[in-house]
Amino acid sequence: MAAQHLLDNGQGVIDPDTYFEIQTPPPNLAQDEAKVRDFVKYNLAKNNRLVLVTSGGTQVPLENQTVRFIDNFSAGTRGATSAEYFLEYGYAVIFMHRQHSLQPYSRNYTHSTNCFLDYLELKPDDSMGVSQAIGPKLIPTFKKYQSVKQRNMLLFVEFTTLTDYLFLLRSITLIMAPMKSKAMYYLAAAVSDFFIPAPKMAEHKIQSSEGALTLHLDQVPKFLKPLVSQWASESFIVSFKASHASYITCPSGTHLFAQLETDSRLLVPKARAALTRYGHQIVIGNMLTTRKRDVTLITKEDDVEIHLTDQELRDEVEIEERIVKELYKRHGMFISTGKSCAVDG
Ligand code: PMT
């Protein structure tokens, strides 16, 4: 079988082109491409800056008729919150997100412990309205949301699996290519490093009657490489480096999840190594446990730490506001000089 042959090259990791040959594209790909094409055309004509924000975790199925899957952790907070600040800075935003993860503007309401019915109240005339407790807070958010929608500044694209994510990432990036330096990629999604290639995957539910299950997962090729060097070589690319759960192999041969890179001192050197390896503009290092108050922006020229104080956290300042402010300046320099530069003040 041709596909099987592609996997049996003894190299351990397949290349990105082979990945797209052996995996099946998502069924909505053509429709998503068409709406992204219209959105890019519109914003290109308006000379807007455009950012692709990826957000949420990718899912890796264990069976073709999927019952079980492995998931990467991400609520989508970083992506959804950042998207709102990019819009405030005048960017058009393609928000490519994991289905049911947090979305800009609705993020403070959809995943709360309150039921949506708690936001409503019955009026004396039996009509229904937004409750007094929530209404005044909701109005500014609602106005912003309406405004970005009316001005065609925000486009939503959904993914669930790793394969959906990678096909969409390639397509959207290639469609955005004419934006050149005006395009930014803000890759906040938590992307799986391991998967089961379609030709090796069980068709139906793996049977528990066959006893204990040992999984072998292949490595996912690093898609940042073709993204930086081919698909979006003239654009401004920001990737994230997180401490996250990874596989370790025990002497017994069993695989366990473990928390690696929990030492923050390892994060900056690792992020810098990623920058050197792929040659893009910025890596943002963050630890899962402190990601809402501390991040480090790593560029070829400098490291910039962004830290929120306890008082700022109490005042509900969001770290994404500071991240986007810094990126806006640096992207501006990139647009005017064609180079990423250290920025003063
Ligand atoms: O949504 P929240 O709950 O707020 O969480 C936000 C976050 C912690 C998930 C986010 O801030 C973050 O750090 N996202 C990136 C996590 C991640 O995938 O890190 P990584 O080390 O696996 O990948 C680093 C980069 O390589 C990523 O930008 C990814 O786009 C890229 N990558 C990853 C895997 C792969 N096969 N190919 C890639 O190109």
The Cα 210–Cα 214 span in angstroms is 11
Rounded Cα gap, residues 166 and 169, in angstroms: 5
- Tell me the pairing of strands 183-187 and 236-242: parallel
Give the pLDDT of residue 8: 46
User: Which atom of ligand 1 has the smallest separation from the CA of 78?
Assistant: 4
Structural domain boundaries in the chain: 2-112+146-337
Q: Which of 280, 259, 125 is nearest to 187 (CA)?
A: 280
Q: Residue 91 C-alpha to ligand 1 middle, in angstroms?
A: 22
Which atom, in ligand 1's list, is nearest to the CA of 102? Answer: 1
Give the Cβ contact number of residue 140 at 10 Å.
9
Q: Which residues line ligand 1 (CB under 6 A)?
A: 74-78, 187-188, 190-191, 193, 220, 222-224, 239-242, 286, 288, 291
pTM for this one? Answer: 0.90
> Does 2-112+146-337 carry CATH code 3.40.50.10300?
yes
Give DSSP secondary structure letters for 158-214: EE-BHHHHHHHHHHHHHHHGGGGGGEEEEE-SB--SEE--GGGSBSSPPPGGG-S--
Asked if residues 172 and 185 have their Cβ atoms less than 8 Å apart, the reply is no
Distances (CA, A) of 291 to 240, 247, 287, 288, 318: 11, 22, 5, 5, 11
Instruction: Provide the total of helices (H) and of strands (E) in the chain, helices listed first.
Output: 11, 16
Nearest CA to ligand 1 atom 23: 241
**Ligand 1 pocket mutation, candidates 241, 266, 287, 323, criterion most atoms within 8 A of CB:** 241
342 three-state secondary structure: coil
C-alpha span between 292 and 305 (Å, rounded)? 13
Dihedral angle of Cα 167, 173, 178, 182, to the nearest 10 degrees: 160
Containing H/E element for 323? helix 319-337
Structure tokens at 201: 């995957």
Q: What is the pLDDT of residue 253?
A: 41
Mutating to test ligand 1, I would choose from 15, 74, 169 the residue with most ligand atoms within 8 A of its C-beta, which is 74
Q: Within 13 Å, how many C-alpha atoms sit on residue 127's CB side?
A: 3
CA dihedral 43, 45, 46, 51 (to 10 degrees): 30
**Parts of the chain with a pLDDT under 50:** 1-3, 5, 8-9, 245-262, 345
Which positions ≥6 away from 38 have C-beta within 8 Å? none
Q: Give residue 246's pLDDT.
A: 41
**260-277 CB burial, b ≥16 within 10 A, e <16:** ebeeeeebbebbbebbee
Rounded-to-integer distance, Cα 57 and Cα 76, Å? 8
C-alpha 191 – ligand 1 centre gap (Å) = 5
* ipTM exceeding the 0.90 mark: yes
Nearest to 81 by CA among 345, 331, 286: 286
